[in-house]
Structure 1
Amino acid sequence: MSTVVITAPEPVVSWEQVSAHLRLDGEDEKVYVEALVAAATAWIDGPAGWLGRAIGEQDLETRFSEFCDHMELMAPVIEIDAVEYVDERGESKPAISTLYRVTGQPSRPRLALAYGESWPSARSDVDAVRVRYRAGYPEVPPPIRQAILLLVGQWYEAREAVSIGNAVNQLPFAVEALLSPFRVYR
């Protein structure tokens, strides 16, 4: 199983929010600060993110080597766009939408076979089954936004990897405390 981002999400923290958080006057550092927002968001969001879920609305594709009982998708699922598979002759075919349904807890959605149905025969091959769907929060929860702002603030103030001679405050703990209720462990 692998998940790839087809359409990336829009930034979940706006310039206005981050500039107010950092108490910036003007837009002199807008490009730099927006890069920090992108880095903080990427650390948290999507298939490679720490949370193990999609935060901003995005189009994803999860690929499986075959149809199985419960194919795990990235939370939260908004809607399934398409399920395609490679048949035994090597041709790509769509699966009829009445064959499947989304089940499981909101934090662990799965694509499952609908009652009384059976999966079509798919070639047993890498990425033979592809599920394309929309995932993410229509409105990103405030704790996730705040965690992004805290990370950006820390990185903005401490622009080097090492700080010598300064008191150490464990800001990452605050970020983890905000994010932990949303984390999905895989």
Structure 2
Amino acid sequence: MALALTSAPAVEPVSLAEAKAHLRVDQDAEDDLISALIVSARSWVERQYGLALITQEWSFYLDRVPGAGAVALPLSPLQSVESVTIHSANGGTNELDQDAYAYDALSKPARLIFQGANGGASLRPLNGIEIAYRCGFGDAADDVPGPIRQALLLLIVHWFERREPVPAGGEPPEVPAMVAGLLAPYRQVRL
């Protein structure tokens, strides 16, 4: 299984002005650092919690259709499945009709279920099935739930104030409990 970003978010869930106001920074000397911390905080939250905060598009690749025909999509919230493409062993591609699959955007994680044939048994040996999908809370920063935006601001402050590297052989610093608490409702439970 592989996951590839095909269209990155157009904006960040927290603006530079919001982060600077939260940090109480008035000058522009730290803008590059703060901008990098915004991107890093978003990326960290998305990775740790299986989320896409701002609308983005991904392709999820599978070697074959799972036995039950159901596929859990790795990022949520799911907005739509754009296409399902079968890559054949001979180099050809076949985009499945929308009636060949169904998806459930309400489940966490979201899932896609194949209904019937998978487009042929001669899939290429690796990444033979491509599921292209759009996910995220919305196109604008205000579409991201308030607790997540607040957690991002707190994480940015935490990293801004602690710029030292992790000492050799040392444990990385813990994420503040307040950040973890704000994000707890968005954690996907995996069994």
1:80 alignment partner AA = V
Corresponding position: 1:158 with 2:162: yes
Pick the aligned partner of 2:60 from 62, 66, 70.
62
The answer on whether the counterparts of 2:37 and 2:159 sit within 8 Å (CA) in structure 1 is: yes
The separation in 1 between residues aligned to 2:109 and 2:76, in whole angstroms, is: 6
Question: 3-state SS of the aligned residue for 1:146?
Answer: helix
Residue 126 of structure 1, CA deviation: 1.3
Question: 3-state SS of the aligned residue for 1:80?
Answer: strand
The separation in 2 between residues aligned to 1:15 and 1:25, in whole angstroms, is: 11
The separation in 1 between residues aligned to 2:187 and 2:6, in whole angstroms, is: 22
The separation in 2 between residues aligned to 1:177 and 1:66, in whole angstroms, is: 38
TM-score w.r.t. length of structure 1: 0.85
1:13 alignment partner AA = V
Instruction: Report the identity percentage.
Output: 29
When the two structures are aligned, how many residues end up with a matched partner? Answer: 176
The answer on whether the counterparts of 1:53 and 1:184 sit within 8 Å (CA) in structure 2 is: no
TM-score w.r.t. length of structure 2: 0.83
Residue 131 of structure 1, CA deviation: 0.5
1:179 alignment partner AA = L
1:149 alignment partner AA = L
The answer on whether the counterparts of 1:66 and 1:124 sit within 8 Å (CA) in structure 2 is: no
The separation in 2 between residues aligned to 1:22 and 1:84, in whole angstroms, is: 46
Residue 18 of structure 1, CA deviation: 0.6
Uncovered stretches (5+) of structure 1, i.e. residues with no partner: 164-169
1:1-186 residue pairs with structure 2 within 5 A?
A: 1-9=1-9, 10-45=11-46, 49-68=47-66, 69-73=69-73, 74-103=75-104, 105-114=106-115, 117-122=116-121, 123=123, 125-138=125-138, 139-161=143-165, 172-186=176-190
Residue 94 of structure 1, CA deviation: 0.8
Uncovered stretches (5+) of structure 2, i.e. residues with no partner: 168-173
Over the residues paired in the alignment, what is the CA RMSD in angstroms?
2.2
